[in-house]
Amino acid sequence: MITLFTPESYWKLLLRETESSWEVVTLSILLTLLIFQVNRTHYKSIRQIFQVNNQARSSIMAGFSMAEPICLIENGKDGKLCVQPKALQILEQIGQRVVVVAVVGFYRTGKSYLMNQLAGKRNGFALGATIQSKTKGIWMWCVPHPVKKDHTLVLLDTEGLGDVEKGDQKNDTWIFSLAVLLSSMLVYNSMGTIDNDALQRLHYVTELTEHIKVKSQQDEYEDESTEFLRVFPSFVWSVRDFTLTLEHDGKPITADEYLNNALKLKPGHSKAVQMYNMPRSCLRNYFPTRKCFVFDRPARTEKMRILDTLSDADLDPSFVKQVREFCCHVFSTAESKTLKGGVHVTGTLLGNLAKIYVDAICSNQIPCLENAVLSLAQIQNAKAVVQAIDHYNAQMAERVAYPTESQEELSQIHHVVEKEALKILIDCSFKDDDQKYQQKFLLSLDEMYAGILRKNIEESKKACESIIKHVFQPLEDQLGSGRYVSRGGYKAFCADMQRFINRYRSTPGKGVQAEEALKKYLDGKKAFQDSILTADQSLTEAERQIQAELAKAQALEQQHRTETEMNNMYEKLLKDQEQSYNEFTQQLMQKMEEDGQNAAKEYDRVLAAKLKEQEDLLSQNFNEKSELMQQSIDALKQEKKAMESNKPSMLGNVLESVGTVALFLPGPISKVIGVASLLGSRFLK
């Protein structure tokens, strides 16, 4: 009998009783999910469960080759930033959504240790044991997300701020800005306490507006904080070597309350008050959520130099527990990275995004979020078209055995593969507002399917000719010997011909040109048939006339069969056309609905952050600031309402713009099957 835990109780058990090793935590999570998902009565032993679980874990780990972190953005000795090609190649292979956690802070504050813990390793990111900063630029480590299925956890360890050997504050600001732009959760690591000095050292936050531009054309009166809230990561302040007691006015408080108290604003308008409030206001207004963790000192001083070699038993138990709580918070709350509008970022998009931002910085430009998204969309959409086309070509080549027995068989394969290719296109593309890339794919799909139709027809012709040659060979032999040029020869010829026709029609593998090929063969024997009829002296003139009329009727029947075969193909292709349009419309509507939901979530997230900030302002009697906040909230609500009301018209515009190519088949098909003209479509006007 296996006792099942609830997910909540199991996490508590992990926090209290397991080792901190990521492998142990992940194994336990997988085991829990496995026990919940399978019928437990089928398991005869715990050993069986672990065997299956190990197979599942090996499967999940497959495809991830990063045994250690590599440099994503190099910070050269000349201070010039450069994205490393090897890191881009790794990100290019990650088609999953990514949860990006970046750590920033002053050098020698233990940032890398936390990143290693999130990766489930004791070492990886360089810790160092001297006063020199080890991490230069931004280093990346991609691992399977231990909690979120089909997500990759991307850890970014940044160069320490304030490195005396570097002496370039501007370079620090760019590193900080890139961490903000690329991450979905930003961990700020500091030592000691959160006091005014600590907040003033966080001047990088106040400089974000100087180093990050939201729009290429910024409205002078537009609330910039709203735009930052849309795309900025959640914020976690990690306070290391914390020695104070978490109390306020003699009452115990949480770490979050400790941070919120430190971020309270001062009333007044003097320069000193403005300088005091500036970093606090930026943290409150730019980041959608805030969280704080305090950590005891890990171990005694002599052990701190070898921290990456110590086991949990060698560390302070309170510190071990605090690290576990920190990791669990990151795993459970850090969201996948998104762009404005709620567009989810994959590893491929993240690599391109990093390159776009770094290229802008190296060109002495301010990274613009709006321009970056547009550039990213162009890169990604072009790639999505190629991926969809490649998938269609590869799968059709693999699944279609030429010639298909019928057009129905080919159409069914086409619909399945077309659906898959459309999904790749629509899932992997975004912000194709003028439908340029969708139209490009549809036109390419048109040509590809037309080529497949042509090949299927040609292969069918070849197969039919081969079968005809084999089946009718005895008839050819008899014709060559002159057997039918005799009394009663015509009836013998007709009987043999019908027998071979029946054998031909019963032979499989002819494809879509069976009757067309047979008609061509029979037309070629018309002269022989007429000459045999004329030479048969056993027939009277009246009988000869009857046989001639019967031959005409048989020819007309064959003509009818051929036309029926062609019309059936034509009608099936018209259905293909309509089904293609319906499939495209359905997937596009589904994608637009998902995009609308993601955008709505973004609005709700920003609204929640602003409402919470307004509540805090009212509690501190900042009535004037609260009224300004209300104006921003009202504008945001109105914007959301307008977006939702515009959904139907947006969909109509999209469908109208792609309608001229969505029903694409008749043009090429008229050339493929030799139909002079096809019926018009209401979608092709």
Same-domain pairing of 295 and 338: yes
Same-domain pairing of 277 and 301: yes
Q: Is the pLDDT of residue 682 over 60?
A: no
Higher pLDDT, 61 or 92: 92
Same-domain pairing of 475 and 330: no
Q: Is residue 425 part of a domain?
A: no
Last residue of a domain, one of 568, 597, 617: 568
Higher pLDDT, 66 or 548: 548
Same-domain pairing of 28 and 84: no
Q: How would DSSP label each residue in 392-456?
A: HHHHHHHH--SSPSSHHHHHHHHHHHHHHHHHHHHHH----TT-HHHHHHHHHHHHHHHHHHHHH
Last residue of a domain, one of 523, 551, 568: 568
331-341, pLDDT tens digit by residue?
A: 999 999 999 88
Give the per-residue pLDDT at 678. 35
Residue 534 is part of which domain span?
Answer: 471-568
Higher pLDDT, 428 or 46: 428
Same-domain pairing of 185 and 329: yes
Same-domain pairing of 273 and 305: yes
Structural domain count, the chain: 3
Q: Is the pLDDT of residue 669 over 80?
A: no
pLDDT band at 589 (very low <50, low <70, confident <90, very high): confident
Q: Is residue 410 part of a domain?
A: no
Q: Is residue 319 part of a domain?
A: yes
Give the per-residue pLDDT at 421. 96
Same-domain pairing of 283 and 343: yes
- Check if the beta carbon of residue 198 is closer than 8 Å to that of residue 190: yes
Same-domain pairing of 557 and 498: yes
Give the per-residue pLDDT at 424. 94
Give the per-residue pLDDT at 65. 56
Q: Is residue 168 part of a domain?
A: yes
Q: Is the pLDDT of residue 634 over 70?
A: yes
Same-domain pairing of 41 and 151: no
| pTM score over 0.75 | yes
Classify residue 648 as exposed, middle or buried by CB count within 10 Å of its CB (0-12, 13-18, 19+).
exposed
Lowest mean pLDDT among 168-177, 248-257, 492-501, 608-617: 168-177
Last residue of a domain, one of 367, 392, 424: 367
- Check if the beta carbon of residue 93 is closer than 8 Å to that of residue 347: yes
Give the per-residue pLDDT at 658. 58
Give the per-residue pLDDT at 25. 42
470-483, pLDDT tens digit by residue?
A: 999 999 999 999 99
Same-domain pairing of 152 and 30: no
Q: Give the whole-angstrom CA distance, residue 133 versus residue 111.
A: 11
539-581, pLDDT tens digit by residue?
A: 999 999 999 999 999 999 999 999 999 999 989 988 888 888 8
Lowest mean pLDDT among 422-426, 509-513, 574-578: 574-578
Q: Is the pLDDT of residue 63 over 50?
A: no
Q: Is residue 409 part of a domain?
A: no
Q: What tokens were used for 213?
A: 């531009």
Q: Is residue 668 part of a domain?
A: no
Q: Is residue 44 part of a domain?
A: yes
Q: Is the pLDDT of residue 147 over 70?
A: yes
Q: What tokens were used for 254?
A: 């949480």
pLDDT band at 262 (very low <50, low <70, confident <90, very high): very high
Give the per-residue pLDDT at 666. 43
Q: Is residue 585 part of a domain?
A: no
Give the per-residue pLDDT at 513. 95
Q: Is the pLDDT of residue 59 over 60?
A: no
Give the per-residue pLDDT at 652. 67
Same-domain pairing of 239 and 307: yes
Q: Is 153 helix (H, G, I), strand (E, B) or coil?
A: strand
CA dihedral angle for residue 301, residue 25, residue 289, residue 294, rounded to 10 degrees: -20
Same-domain pairing of 15 and 84: no
Q: Is the pLDDT of residue 118 over 70?
A: yes
CATH code at position 289: 3.40.50.300
